[in-house]
Amino acid sequence: MVSSYVTGDWYAPANAATVLRSPVDGHELAGVSSEGIDFQAVLDHGRAVGGPNLRKHTFHERAAMLKELVAALARHKDELYELSADTGATRSDALLDIDGGMGVLASYASRALRELPNERYIVDGGPEALSRDGTFLGRHIRTPLEGVAIHINAFNFPCWGELEKFAPAFLAGMPVVVKPASQTSFVAEKVVSAIIDADVLPPGSLQMVAGSIDGLLERLTGQDYVGFTGSSQTASMLRGLESVRSRSVRFMAETDSLNSAILCLSNGNDSPEIDLFVDEIVKEITAKSGQRCTAIRRALVPESVMETVIERLQGRIGGLKVGDPRDPETDLGPLVSAHQVTEVGKAVDILRAGCELATDPVGYGLDELHPDGAYYPPTLLVAPDGDFEPVHRVEPFGPVTTLVPYLDTMDAIEITSRGGGSLVASVYSEDPDLARDLVLGLAPYHGRVLVLDTHCAQSSTGHGSPLPHLVHGGPGRAGGGEELGGVRSIFHYMQTTAIQGSPDTVNWSAE
Ligand code: NAP
């Protein structure tokens, strides 16, 4: 049974509400249930124990604790890698999740030490003169909210997803309750146990509930915070809860996203951009078997080179190996569950009503893999044109990309915006002026835009990787949230207050 860590203790109910099976071969992994957990006690513990304990410390002291956690988690890396294989993750997938997660903690710790004061509050900007004689001034301060941050995570990054939310909340001074996605909660449980065993955090700073949290969000107040990652349907249902709406609970959502890649040409069929574009699509189909919120779903190609791009992609995608994630030869492990295979299949069926299939699903030897595994073939589709509506609506959350022909820059921007707001777009162009036009057109619809050319391709961190330094989020369908992005994400967990008074009253040190 996956245990929860609540009110300072581990807890596992006797009966499982959900039984988890390995996507590798269908063997039973664990049961999950939150039956018997008193959610009011969880919230009370965070508010009465975690919050005060955390707020005794300065930003620098909390940053030092995060650094210690990185070292503690590193000692459990092998166990985390092994557990991750039963989420379908290959070694390189697990690297993104586990090493990536530790990297986010380390990055936040360093930035907090560099950019935040060794204080418990932040003075934001200088004084504002509010009277002619200078006797009445105003300025802003930021203080941590006094409630609990509830972090609801998606199944695809049980370690990174947990840590990238935890770091800014902890630094701000807010205790966290993590609710991992059930399917991969056994990895999240290991991450929490490694953190708790390190004995670094002030008591009450971190709790975890495995399984349902029905009834918890109903108890939130305006001092609490919800950080959600998952589907837009769940986000919109939770955002609409009476408690969340009527008490103005802060609600940050990262949801699904139909990210785009846009190929530009500097030399027709010989354009170097084509190889960069093809490489990136193959990487995005392969990493986590396409189960990344940032994966390329719509790849926009000038009609004149469509045949060339299809041929090059067929060559590369056809050579990918699908199989057991523990086999070092495997490029793509299984999807996270049999349910996800069904969901991706349904999405692909909708897309195939108007798109051509450019890859051969039987070419990957899936029949030879374990029949109870959750394997899905890499899939390349070609849309007839940018007017094919489902490609801008349906998200196949697996190794699936659709090529979409486009005419010119305006057309590319217009087609991309039909996704209703996305996390990331990438532009493949050797021409900085053209790239700038595209960036300006894409920016209102995206949280991040990568421009890839031959100068930066070698050092690029890639289309699909959110970074702690840069904003991760997107408008509209992508949830309207903004995670990561350096210390600005710490401010989400703080209240900004304008203080007014005489020079002596508002003369707070900015350091
Ligand atoms: P989901 O069903 O919305 O689940 C996401 C999380 O919400 C899980 O922890 C789930 O818990 C929880 N949840 C579901 N119903 C809930 C309720 N009534 N109250 C509280 N929590 C509830 O999403 P999914 O289908 O598993 O995840 C895949 C989706 O996530 C994809 O669409 C993908 O695009 C998106 N995603 C987005 C990002 C991003 O950063 N934008 C990152 C990763 C994934 P249980 O597992 O226990 O049901």
C-beta neighbour count of 113 within 10 angstroms: 16
pTM above 0.85, yes or no: yes
The backbone torsions φ and ψ at residue 61, rounded to the nearest 5 degrees and listed phi first, read: -65, -40
Q: Which two tokens stand for residue 142?
A: 């930021």
The pLDDT of residue 510: 52
Helix or strand holding residue 148 (H, E): none
Catalytic: 254? yes
C-beta neighbour count of 497 within 10 angstroms: 12
Could you tell me how far CA 123 lies from the centroid of its own chain? Answer: 30
In whole angstroms, give the CA distance from residue 125 to residue 510: 7
Contact 300, 263 (CB under 8 A): yes
Q: Which of 164, 293, 395, 430 is catalytic?
A: 293
Closest CA to 18 of 155, 151, 148, 216: 155
In whole angstroms, give the CA distance from residue 48 to residue 9: 16
The pLDDT of residue 16: 79
Ligand 1 pocket: which of 155, 162, 216, 470 to mutate (most atoms within 8 A of CB):
155
In whole angstroms, give the CA distance from residue 492 to residue 496: 10
The pLDDT of residue 467: 94
pLDDT (tens digit, 9 = 90+) per residue, 345-361? 999 999 999 999 999 88
Catalytic: 159? no
Could you tell me how far CA 292 lies from the centroid of its own chain? Answer: 8
pLDDT (tens digit, 9 = 90+) per residue, 10-68? 999 988 779 999 999 999 999 999 999 999 999 999 999 999 999 999 999 999 999 99
pLDDT along the chain (511 residues), means of 10: 97 89 96 96 98 98 97 96 97 96 97 96 93 94 98 97 97 98 97 97 98 96 97 94 96 95 93 96 98 97 96 96 96 97 98 96 90 97 97 97 97 97 97 96 97 94 94 94 91 96 82 50
pLDDT (tens digit, 9 = 90+) per residue, 108-132? 999 999 999 999 999 998 999 999 9
Q: What's the 306 CA to ligand 1 centre distance in angstroms?
A: 35
> Is any atom of ligand 1 closer than 6 Å to the C-beta of 293?
yes
Closest CA to 91 of 101, 77, 70: 77
The pLDDT of residue 84: 97
In whole angstroms, give the CA distance from residue 254 to residue 466: 12
pLDDT (tens digit, 9 = 90+) per residue, 129-174? 999 999 999 999 999 999 999 999 999 999 999 999 999 999 999 9
